[in-house]
Chains A and B, each alone.
Chain A
């Protein structure tokens, strides 16, 4: 059973470009979470999605950031007009379809975004 898949693992963008980060949840999981980790810091929640629905986006910056989890295909975290402060590791996690808060979230390997 494959774990959470994220690609690309490393992404380099110049200021002003767009970054698209992809996450495929574990098989059988229909809940996806995105977290951001700045260097030497803990993870900060960004957004929680189910298929075709954003459940909680309280951690998302108000501008330039968006997320989706379509009926088919991976979840996408999109960052428009990237700035140097967006440089971080972005982790995706998934949990089973029960949606219970007792569910364990399983994390992918992360995408390390570097903005030049």
Chain B
């Protein structure tokens, strides 16, 4: 069975500093990997996904993520965080050969301080 771990419940960063949100996964075979962001009392917004090809994926709002197969990681990054990036971030995995359901990590709350 597949699983996703987001080891940090919360990440605090000063505005303008780099932001990293960690994600590791466990899946049989090759994974499809996704990042979503959730603002308070809202649904999830899609940020980016890795399917194949270049390990560095660029997404919405200046976010990017790097797929590292040897470390089974897919960390989300942003070079310069904004206060408006404060939200709950979810990493998700879908095995390539096991249906369409997403398995989510527990989420990481990001707090960007002015």
B44 at the interface (CB under 8 A from A): yes
CB–CB B101/A45 < 8 A: yes
Give the total number of A-B pairs whose CB atoms are below 8 A apart.
68
A43→B32 CA distance, assembly (Å):
17
Measured CA separation A26–B19 after assembly (Å): 32
Complex alpha-carbon distance, A41 and B9, angstroms: 10
Residue of B nearest to A104 (CB): B46
- CB of A14 within 8 Å of the partner chain: no
Inter-subunit contact B43/A107 (CB<8 Å): yes
**Residues on the B chain within 8 Å of A110, using CB:** 42-43
Inter-subunit contact B101/A109 (CB<8 Å): no
| Stretch of A66-74, A79-87, A94-102 with 4 or more beta carbons under 8 angstroms from chain B | A94-102
With contacts A101-B94, A102-B32, A102-B51 taken as known, whether A107 is within 8 angstroms of B101 at the C-beta atoms is: no
- CB contact under 8 A between A107 and B36, given known A43-B44, A101-B96: yes
Which B residues are in CB contact (< 8 Å) with A48? 99-101
The CA of A7 and the CA of B27, in the complex, are separated in Å by 34
Do B44 and A107 touch across chains, with their CB atoms under 8 A apart?
Answer: yes
Closest to B48 in A: A104
Q: Does B82 contact A (CB under 8 A)?
A: no
0 or 1 for each of B1-44: is its CB under 8 Å from A? (1 = yes): 00010000000000000000000000000001010100001111
Asked if residues A59 and B106 are in contact (CB atoms below 8 Å), the reply is no
Residues of B within 8 A of A (CB): 4, 32, 34, 36, 41-46, 49, 51, 90, 94-97, 99-107
